[in-house]
Structure 1
Amino acid sequence: MNLSLYQKLAVSLVVIFCFICALVYSWSKQLELTSKHHGEQNLHLALAEHLVQDNPLIKEGVYDYAALENLFHTLMLLGPAFEFYFVDENGKILTYSAEPGKVKRTHINLAPLKKLINNPDAAPIYGDNPRNKAQQKIFSVAPVFNNDKLQGYLYVIIGGEAYDTSLNTIKNNDKLWLAALWLGSALVFLLIAMLILLRFFTNPIQRLARDVSKIEAANYSITDTKLSNYSTQKSNEVHSLGRSIQAMVTRIDEQFKELEQSDKQRKELLTHLSHDLRTPLASLQGFLEVLNQSGAQLSAKEQREYLHVSLNNCDQLKQLIEQIFELAHLENGEISIHKETFNLGELIYDCIAKFSLTAEKKGLNLTVEPAICDFPVVADIAKLERVLSNLIDNAIRHTPKGGSIAVHVKRIDQKQLFVQVSDTGVGIKHDELNAIFNPHYQASNSHNEGRQQGGLGLAICKGLLKLMDSEINVQSELGKGTMFSFNLPQKIKV
């Protein structure tokens, strides 16, 4: 049988409650009875002794048992709660106040009698009930002597059979039953109140368990799963746990979506790269086949042209493969940074010199501002050279003839420099600015000038700058140009 947490707690609470009630009731009744017997025995402790001293039949030690029985009967009529017995020194019952046939014992144990005589403070002490072989009662006792010779004991039972009968009749009274009924009702009400409180306290746990089951059934996706609302105003452990679980599941769901998106982008990248690799390979293969099959029929000029195109295709393949490996190493964290202090201006002019011939052929103006860039920086010189080269090459490809490209260096404070590479090219659409750093993404208005581009340059720039604790940003206006900027820590001169 599968029980919920509340049901298990409720059953356990009912069992424990009933057990405690029974234990408390039994203990209270026993304590009440013991206290009652203690008080009654102390109250009537000297009763037997006074009877011995005040009655000549007993005091003189010469006994007429018939007269003694009549005396006991008279005393019992005066005190119905008492039963009178005279026993000899061996515990044999010689006479008594009861009706014939009522007494079931012929002897009683004298040890309790002697104990009470010697130590009256030990009350309550229980002695044998002559009317019931399995029962004991509180009593009063006094020894009876004749010329200093022990003749026996006057044994008085306190609360005899008549007293018990009267007490049971009182206990059966309707008022007592009504009081007991009210007490029982109060206990039942207390139990119900405790169960309601228990339900109230365990309800958030049940809601949390249902939420976890929903999440599991939805394969840990919370997109279409409606979960309970755990208030941030409540600071109990269950609400804190519920909020933590929901935050954890939300984060897991986001990571799943990121992995799915990353896997989708990776597949798209592989598709694009396969296309990019296939195009120069097909061109290279076609020209080489022409050279191989018709080499003797081609003129020297045609052969040189075919070889030149084939070499260009080989160069594009090499660059594309290098970019693929570089991006893979970046994503896997396999590229290390070796920071050093160097002059930023010298590196910028080296990069400008590398592209000056290409820019001159296209009629572009390459400038550095300020012209004297004496700024010491702390970075990886090789990785920074790669970033600047990619950005300048990108600007040259997207700037039409007669345009200009400038590298600006700005000091923001004593610790930071900003490097900006701007052009007057075709620009980038505003809705494409956030996507241009994705691998293989190319703006819709990009100019490749007959060269096959993998679209990995900006993704590599972003990854390299991130390794150097820098971040690249872009601003662009369609038809007017684009500006890429990033920050570098400056070496403070002392």
Structure 2
Amino acid sequence: MSFKSRLMVFTSVWFCLAVALIAFTYNWQKQTIELRTKQSLHKQLATHMREDNPLMIGSDYNPVALKSIFHTLMLLGPDFEIYFLDAKGNITTHAAPEGAQLQSSVDVEPITQFLNDEPFPILGEDPRNPAQNKVFSVSALKEGETIMGYLYVVIGSTQHSAIAASEVDPPYLALAGLVLVSIIGFSFGVYLLVEKSLMRPIQRVTNQLQHQAEHDFQLTPDFTHQVKELTPIADSYHLMAKHIQQQFLQLEYQSSHQRQLLLQLSHDLKTPLSSVLGYLETWKLQNKQDPLIDVAYRNCDKLSNQLHSMLQLAKQETPLLSYEYHPVDIATLLAQSAEIMQSQFNRKQVMLKLDVAPELQTIGDKVLLERLVANLLENALRHSPAHSTVCCQAELTTNKADIRFRFTNLVEPNAQGGSLGIGIKIVQSILLLHHSYLETKQTDDEYQQSFTLPSTDLVSLV
């Protein structure tokens, strides 16, 4: 869900829950206060009925006369239902209509609480509606100290409950409908406010940023004139874009300057390099095969090709880098890189050990991978003490899907250059182009750099 949808749903649900909780609390408080008030107001009702209408003479009473009295009293007070109970709470006399469902007894515990003046409201059983307890008034009928029975008056008759329910439901439904409409209206208003004041400006800024990114971050004059909440973001982006423009100008100047230097350097190196390459080729034709001459000739030829490529790139106004991904034999790649670096290892008296599993191949740009291995070997040699060993390993991983490369060397405490510097950025960039990354582990006396490349068994040429 989008932010505006989540906001609208959250607002609606929150208000519905809040209204339901408030309504429940209000209704509960209202009912409690109403019951307490009603019971307090009619607390002495049963006593007055008993005193004004003698119900018993000694331990005797006339049920027929008593029922007539109850009927008369209920006509005068239709909100009351009057019952005569014995000492155990059994109903002995009442004025309920013929055929009315009536339970035979009433729980005496609430009556005892009422007579002991415990806090109101105290709810007792309604003989005509056992599922609903109601407030009541009660008076004990005694002979001496012995309770002979109770005059039990239920406040809020069945008729009263039916009339109240029919009168209360329509207003409650109207009130609930009004609250629901208010909630929906408020949520819709919040939605429109967020949409107009926040979402649309954010979308507009996003579109402007995308447009500016596609046009070299050329900012429009009114870019910083956004809504108040987005002004800090717009100002920060404006500063960033100005900094990017400065860097563009600086890079353009550096690129132009380097292109001129590269053209001059290429012309200066082309003639002597061609001469050296010609002498080496003549030596190979006139003499027996010499491994040292072969290595020198191969490196000079490689340098000549690279110089030719650099010259062509320098002649272009906006040189474009292109990469060619082909199957690369790992053993050959590492052997040639080690051959180039061997003289430097010999000068420092460091042994280079290659441990390469047979028939390993990957997909990649061979020139970039050669540069990658050369940088890592150079870094390992720089940090290694004399008479130590640099180990270069290449093997399949457990799942046979990748090739794991490890470059391990001992660490010389006073080695010059504590890091690869620009070299590490080149290595990381090359690995990024091959969908990999450099992992580094270092202890007090050992340094290890590793990465993985996909095996040709599970990759396809794109």
TM-score with structure 2 length normalisation?
0.52
Contact 2:12 2:183 in 1 (8 A): no
Contact 1:92 1:107 in 2 (8 A): yes
Shift, 1:256, TM fit: 4.7
Shift, 1:148, TM fit: 2.9
Which residue in the other structure is 1:243 paired with? 235
Candidates 153, 161, 164, aligned match of 1:164: 161
Which residue in the other structure is 1:214 paired with? 210
SS in 1 for 2:131: strand
Contact 1:137 1:158 in 2 (8 A): yes
Q: Which runs of 5+ in 2 are unaligned?
A: 277-462
The one-character-per-residue Cα deviations of 1:400-450 (angstroms, maximum 9, x if unpaired) are xxxxxxxxxxxxxxxxxxxxxxxxxxxxxxxxxxxxxxxxxxxxxxxxxxx
CA distance in 1, matches of 2:66, 2:252: 110
Which residue in the other structure is 1:36 paired with? 34
SS in 2 for 1:108: coil
The one-character-per-residue Cα deviations of 1:20-78 (angstroms, maximum 9, x if unpaired) are 11111111111111111111111111111111121112475522222222211211111
Which residue in the other structure is 1:81 paired with? 79
- Residues 1:8 and 1:191: Cα distance change in structure 2 (over 3 Å): closer
* Number of residue-to-residue matches in the alignment: 275
Which residue in the other structure is 2:4 paired with? 6
Q: Residue type matched to 2:9 in 1?
A: V
1:45 aligns with 2:43: yes
1:150 aligns with 2:147: yes
Candidates 174, 189, 192, aligned match of 1:193: 189
CA distance in 2, matches of 1:49, 1:143: 8
Contact 1:207 1:228 in 2 (8 A): no
CA distance in 2, matches of 1:178, 1:114: 42
Q: Residue type matched to 1:196 in 2?
A: L
Contact 1:52 1:154 in 2 (8 A): yes
Q: Residue type matched to 2:266 in 1?
A: S
SS in 1 for 2:97: coil
- Structure whose CA Rg is larger: 1
Q: Residue type matched to 1:202 in 2?
A: L
- Residues 1:6 and 1:157: Cα distance change in structure 2 (over 3 Å): same
Pairs within 5 Å for 1:475-494: none
Candidates 268, 272, 277, aligned match of 2:264: 272
CA distance in 1, matches of 2:225, 2:20: 42
Shift, 1:212, TM fit: 8.4
Contact 2:134 2:155 in 1 (8 A): yes
Which residue in the other structure is 1:293 paired with? none
Q: Which runs of 5+ in 1 are unaligned?
A: 286-494
Q: Residue type matched to 1:145 in 2?
A: K
- Residues 1:200 and 1:25: Cα distance change in structure 2 (over 3 Å): farther
What is the alpha-carbon root mean square deviation over aligned residues? Answer: 3.5
**Taking every aligned residue pair, what percent have the same amino acid on both sides?**
29
Contact 1:61 1:151 in 2 (8 A): yes
Which residue in the other structure is 1:139 paired with? 136
CA distance in 2, matches of 1:254, 1:97: 101
CA distance in 1, matches of 2:122, 2:224: 64
Candidates 122, 125, 149, aligned match of 2:122: 125
Contact 2:224 2:238 in 1 (8 A): no
Which residue in the other structure is 1:63 paired with? 61
Which residue in the other structure is 2:414 paired with? none
CA distance in 2, matches of 1:199, 1:74: 69
- Residues 1:123 and 1:275: Cα distance change in structure 2 (over 3 Å): same
Shift, 1:274, TM fit: 2.8
Shift, 1:140, TM fit: 1.1
SS in 2 for 1:157: strand
- Residues 1:9 and 1:85: Cα distance change in structure 2 (over 3 Å): same
CA distance in 2, matches of 1:69, 1:253: 103
Contact 1:208 1:242 in 2 (8 A): no
CA distance in 2, matches of 1:59, 1:214: 101
Which residue in the other structure is 1:392 paired with? none
CA distance in 2, matches of 1:71, 1:113: 22
CA distance in 1, matches of 2:18, 2:216: 48
CA distance in 1, matches of 2:128, 2:166: 20
CA distance in 1, matches of 2:17, 2:172: 23
CA distance in 1, matches of 2:235, 2:107: 74
Shift, 1:188, TM fit: 4.1
Which residue in the other structure is 1:255 paired with? 247
